[in-house]
Amino acid sequence: MIEIDQNERVLRTVRKHWFILLSDLFLLVICLAVPVVFLFTLRLLPLGALFSWTGSPAIAQGFFIVAWLFIVWIIAWALWTNYYLDVLVITDKRIFTVEQHGFFRRTSSSFRIDRIQNTTIVQKGIIQTLLNFGTIHLETAGESENFIGTFIANPYEIKKSINKMHDTAIEKSQLVHTGDSTSDVLAGNDSPLL
Amino acid sequence: MRYARRQVAHLESHSLIMIPSPLAEQSFHILVTPTLLFGVMALLLLGWSVFTLIVQYHWKNYGTGKLEVFTMNFFYLVGSLLFIAFLAALAILYHLSK
């Protein structure tokens, strides 16, 4: 679950490129072809002799085809959910990353935008270049694990907006520090720097 | 052409096109009854119910927008109900076609 503060604003929700869904669609097409191959085999091989029908065989075959399509429908939603839940949420303060592996394994992490030290984009191959997607590496200060977002759509645009937000966050924090030291001086406290 | 037809007729008369299945020879038969169809349907419904519970839990808790989750729920439920209705209709039709 992504826990966003009340005063935090979601600026962007980023998902993997649609091309990643194509490989899942390929699996679904293969699944859809299974009954066609099975019916063809049933006509070619004497497998029909194995079945005894108490009613119309055409209706029963139709039932099994629809049953198989129903299974494919469920598989399709499982694949979609896996795609949908892999997400990168950018707020005005933090970046949340969620990586869903199946239904029961989930890696979720978040880090502050002002802690980002380096943003790298890696695009490999002709497909990633032409369709404009790639991997984003976000290096953060400290010993925390760096973030790697794979197959992210429009990576350069995201990098640009992250850099912009990072600059704003740094400027804001510097203003806060300056404001603090000014108020300390005005209050007559000794500055720690002096 | 005439030769080919004659060849096919010859093969059919000697039952050479249909290779006898070893399972059929051992009188192994799957009797497709309406009960079998309803049983398959009940199993599918059970699997679908469990899947629906899991998937909706994920959408509800980890989804990134209420409208998105609502749209997904709508299409998922409408599609699933259509499939279930179609399955039930075919099973009943099979039962009636005895």
In a domain, B8, yes or no: no
Cite the DSSP H helix spans in A85-154: 125-131
B41-72 tens-digit pLDDT: 999 999 999 999 999 999 998 888 889 999 99
In a domain, B1, yes or no: no
Q: Which of B23, B34, B79 sits opposite A73 (nearest CB)?
A: B79
- Residue A14 in contact with residue A88, Cβ under 8 Å? yes
Given the DSSP bridges, would you call strands A51-53 and A94-101 parallel, antiparallel or unpaired? unpaired
Asked whether residue B58 is domain-assigned, the answer is yes
Which of B21, B30, B95 faces A55 most closely, judged by CB atoms? B95
Query: Is B4 contained in some domain?
Result: no
Contacts of B91 in chain A (CB under 8 A): 63
- B57 assigned to some structural domain: yes
What are the extents of the domains in chain A?
18-83, 92-186
| Containing structural domain, residue B60 | 27-96
Residue B13 placed within a domain: no
Q: What is the pLDDT of residues A47-106, one digit of tens each?
A: 767 888 888 888 998 999 999 999 999 999 999 999 999 988 888 888 888 888 888 888
Q: What is the number of domains present in chain B?
A: 1
Overall pTM surpassing 0.95 (yes/no):
no
Q: Does domain A92-186 have CATH number 2.30.29?
A: yes
Place of tokens 């859809």: A32
Q: Give the whole-angstrom CA distance, residue A181 versus residue A107.
A: 40
DSSP string, chain B: -HHHHHHHHHHHHTT-SSPPPHHHHTT--EEE-HHHHHHHHHHHHHHHHHHHHHHHHHHHHH-S-HHHHHHHHHHHHHHHHHHHHHHHHHHHHHHHT-
